[in-house]
Amino acid sequence: MTDYLVYDVFSAKAFGGNQLAVIPDATALPESDLQKIAREFNFSETTFVYPPEDAHNQAKVRIFTPTMEIPFAGHPVVGTAVALADLGVCADDGNMVLELGVGPLPCHAANGSARFTTEVPLDVIATPDVAQVAAALGLSVDDIKVDAHVPTLASVGLPFTITELHSREALARITTDVSGFRAGAAQYPTSLDFAQFAYFREGQTLHARMFAPLDNIPEDPATGSACAALGALLSKVEGADQQLLIRQGEDMGRLSLIDLTTQGAAVTISGAAKRVMQGTFVY
């Protein structure tokens, strides 16, 4: 029998944030079933936890979307860290190291919240045309702001096109056009298919939405890996460390609150996670 847990991540209460299925001991599951299980949950990600390869670390974590395995993602790291802390799998001070596809990642979890810090260098892959991004998002080119940066396909482990908008109203007005995503994915092939992370900035608060319809994620309520890439990008273009609160998922009715700070090359993502379900596989 294999147990599973479901957490709402980047939310301190149930029915907010981004859903995550966590299998805290996946050792008995056949390799051929992992993708099927992730598709069965149909959340943006499911994590499978194994004993660490290095005994100094706490766990090895594999992350699956409904369509593929990925090396890194933010809300699965935060949710899995909280789950393991709830199960007592961490040091007395709440510190732990999780082994991911991007390598060992230091985390801290306590009292229903977690944080991780990544120093994976920012990889700027491309700068897609403004009109192409606008078409994918169902917006006008006039909605896209290019003062700080043009639309930028960037990654600190997972690639997203990061685009600033002129208004909160434009962010709310996004209606994705799958044909635009197909065209972008063909021109810029990466591990995600032209995933779009759009935001509007109000001082130190950012309102954001993320779309990856070709990867079976019509919209994501919280995307920590995209937030981490955004933090690294803003730190680079502004030449200054960042301290931001990102509000994502609000237009979906699943508000996520993501804290982001940068210090030099290090990006820290933090937030709460709430267990909402648990059960056992019976297939």
Q: Is 45 a catalytic residue?
A: yes
**2-117+270-281: CATH topology:** Diaminopimelate Epimerase; Chain A, domain 1 (3.10.310)
Q: Of residues 40, 45, 99, 250, which has the active-site annotation?
A: 45
Single pTM value for the model: 0.94
Q: Domain 123-264 has what CATH class?
A: alpha beta
Report the range of poorest mean pLDDT among 10-19, 44-53, 82-91, 176-185. 82-91
Residue 90 pLDDT: 78
pLDDT value for 151? 98
Confidence band, pLDDT 50/70/90 cuts, at residue 10: very high
Tens digit of each residue's pLDDT (9 = 90 or more) over 171-180: 999 999 999 9
Q: For residue range 187-206, what is the model confidence (pLDDT) as tens digits?
A: 999 999 999 999 999 999 99
What are the domain boundaries of the chain? 2-117+270-281, 123-264
Per-residue pLDDT, averaged over 259-276, amounts to 97
Fold agreement between 2-117+270-281 and 123-264: yes
Query: CA torsion angle for 178, 182, 188, 191 (degrees, to 10)?
Result: 80
